[in-house]
């Protein structure tokens, strides 16, 4: 039995997406920049992909730009806007629990002479609007706040934060890293005051190597990749037609039964949390007080700290049963230092090294969760017996 509960790392591609991409790669493989029919055909796929995202986000299709993924979208938004706005000011704001694609890009910008404020979060992984208000200055050119946290699933008050920023300084740009949130929440940039938004294909059953950046038409931004002038000269490079079309197809399929899926994911989350709580010495991170069902947090992410068992060991023990989960987040699992997000929400040291993440998708079934819970009931007491004796 193979049970894949690491959907925040990446997801299985929908078969319809794979089929469409196969067709584009093997039959309609033209370059949209070519003048002949084969190129025009390919351009149709690209145009229709942009239309799909325009519809889903309720923005103009000309405001959709395809990139190589979430990381490039974040880099482009931050670096491109910082450089374009450097004359108005050199201050940026973000949070302490962003993905490394944001945090490390911010550190890079610091080395370029920008000043960055990192907002703290409360025990549930949310920023306070008051902190944001106090951090804002006349110099602030960009605020970047993630929609859904990849490790604990906390959701930021994006609409309120964007509104606050715009009220205090209408020139300050507002970027949202929605790599984990896109497909799991309805996000409408124009209505919410979002100027830029990053999303990624492979987190929503699309292919890897494709992402998008929504750039509102009012935004002043410089390209960070130079070349043949594709995508209005903002993001050069031969268009990834199969990627873009596959990404759009996945988004379309996902938003087609959005309401039902989200309801089911929350049921899964509640069911799984209830089951995990039956074990002693287990803590679920990031749930809001009085909301044991997970309301107000991501429907697909459950972060669990298991006292007395190191996360890597539990991960491999579950792996032996065919269950795939993640220690912290996949991007952090390659590094031994404890996760910044878990530290920021105030988790104590021994629990920091004992935290694993389960993340669900539309493919996740209750049967799979039962199997996983049973494996945890079996393995955790056994593993606790063999940990370091004190």
Partner 1 sequence: MFTAFLIKYAEIGIKGKNRYLFEDMLVHQMKLALKKCEGQFLIHKSQGRIFVEARGEFDFEEAVEGLKKVFGISGICPVVYEEDQGFEKLCERVVAYVDQVYPDKHKTFKVHSRRARKDYPKESMEINADLGEAILNAYPEMRVDVHEPEILLNVEIREKIYIYSEIIPGPGGMPVGTGGKAMLLLSGGIDSPVAGYMIAKRGVKLDAVYFHAPPYTSERARQKVVDLARTVAEYAGPIWLHIINFTDIQLYIHEKCPHEELTIIMRRYMMRIAEHIAKDTDCLGLITGESIGQVASQTMQSLAATNEVCSLPVYRPLIGFDKQEIVEVANRIGTFETSILPYEDCCTIFVAKHPVTKPNLNVIRRHEHNLDEGIEELVRTALETKELIVAGA
CB of 100 to partner 1, least distance (A): 16
Which one of 26, 81, 273, 331 is the catalytic residue? Answer: 331
Q: Which is nearer to partner 1, 178 or 323 (CB)?
A: 323
What is the chain's length?
Answer: 390
Transcribe 177-219 into DSSP letters. Answer: E-TTTBTTB---HHHHT-SEEEEESGGGTS-SS-EEEEE-TT-
Q: Which two tokens stand for residue 115?
A: 């000043």
- Strand 64-67 to 211-215 pairing: antiparallel
Site for partner 1 in 29-48 (CB under 8 A): none
CB of 335 to partner 1, least distance (A): 7
Q: Give residues with Cβ within 8 angstroms of 293, minimum separation 6.
A: 266, 269, 270, 273
Does 388 interact with partner 1 (rule: CB under 8 A)? Answer: yes
CB of 208 to partner 1, least distance (A): 20
Q: Which is nearer to partner 1, 84 or 375 (CB)?
A: 375
Q: Give residues with Cβ within 8 angstroms of 64, minimum separation 6.
A: 50, 53, 54, 57, 212, 214
Measured at the CA of 219, the angle between CA 118 and CA 82, to 5 degrees, comes to: 40
**Does residue 99 contact residue 73 with C-beta atoms inside 8 Å?**
no
CB of 380 to partner 1, least distance (A): 12
Site for partner 1 in 286-345 (CB under 8 A): 310, 312-313, 315-317, 319-320, 334-336
CB of 276 to partner 1, least distance (A): 19
Q: Which stretch binds partner 1 (CB under 8 A): 74-82, 109-117, 164-172, 382-390?
A: 382-390
User: What are the b/e assignments for 234-255, b being 16+ CB within 10 Å?
Assistant: bbeeebbbbbbbbbbbbbbbbb
Examine the residue annotation and report whether 331 is marked as an active-site residue of this protein.
yes
CA 369 to the chain's CA centroid? 23
Does 349 interact with partner 1 (rule: CB under 8 A)? Answer: no
Q: Which is nearer to partner 1, 36 or 386 (CB)?
A: 386
Does 356 interact with partner 1 (rule: CB under 8 A)? Answer: no
* Residues near partner 1 (CB under 8 A): 310, 312-313, 315-317, 319-320, 334-336, 386, 388-390
Catalytically annotated residues: 331
């Amino acid at each position: 039995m193979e049970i894949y509960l690491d959907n925040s790392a990446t997801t299985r591609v929908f078969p319809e997406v794979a089929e469409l991409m196969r067709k584009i790669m093997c039959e309609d493989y033209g370059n949209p920049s070519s003048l002949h029919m084969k190129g025009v055909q390919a351009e149709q796929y690209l145009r229709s992909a942009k239309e799909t995202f325009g519809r889903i986000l309720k923005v103009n299709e000309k405001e959709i730009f395809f990139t190589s993924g979430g990381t490039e979208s974040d880099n482009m938004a931050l670096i491109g806007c910082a450089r374009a706005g450097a004359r108005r000011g050199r201050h940026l704001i973000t949070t302490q629990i962003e993905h490394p694609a944001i945090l490390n890009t911010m550190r890079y910008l610091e080395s370029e002479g920008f000043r960055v404020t990192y907002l703290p979060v409360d025990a549930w992984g949310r920023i306070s609007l008051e902190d944001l208000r106090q951090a804002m200055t006349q110099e602030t050119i960009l605020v970047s706040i993630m929609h859904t946290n990849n490790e604990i699933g906390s959701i930021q008050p994006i609409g309120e934060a964007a509104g606050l920023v715009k009220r205090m300084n209408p020139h300050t740009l507002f970027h949202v890293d929605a790599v984990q949130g896109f497909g799991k929440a309805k996000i409408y940039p124009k209505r919410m005051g979002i100027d830029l938004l990053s999303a990624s294909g492979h987190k929503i059953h699309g292919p890897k190597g494709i992402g998008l950046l929504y750039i509102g038409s009012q935004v002043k931004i410089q390209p960070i990749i130079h070349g043949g002038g594709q995508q209005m000269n903002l993001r050069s490079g031969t268009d990834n037609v199969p990627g873009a079309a596959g990404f759009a197809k996945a988004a379309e399929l996902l938003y087609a039964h959005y309401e039902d899926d989200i309801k089911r994911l929350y049921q899964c989350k509640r069911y799984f949390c209830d089951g995990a709580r039956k074990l002693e010495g287990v803590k679920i991170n990031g749930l809001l007080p009085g909301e044991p069902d997970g309301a107000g947090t991501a429907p697909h992410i459950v972060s669990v700290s298991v006292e007395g068992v190191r996360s890597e060991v539990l991960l491999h023990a579950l792996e032996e049963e065919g269950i795939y989960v993640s220690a912290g987040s996949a991007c952090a699992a390659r590094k031994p230092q404890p996760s910044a997000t878990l530290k920021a929400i105030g988790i104590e040291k021994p629990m920091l090294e004992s935290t694993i993440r389960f993340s669900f998708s539309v493919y996740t079934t209750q049967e799979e969760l039962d199997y996983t819970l049973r494996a945890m009931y079996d393995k955790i007491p056994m593993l606790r017996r063999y940990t370091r004796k004190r």
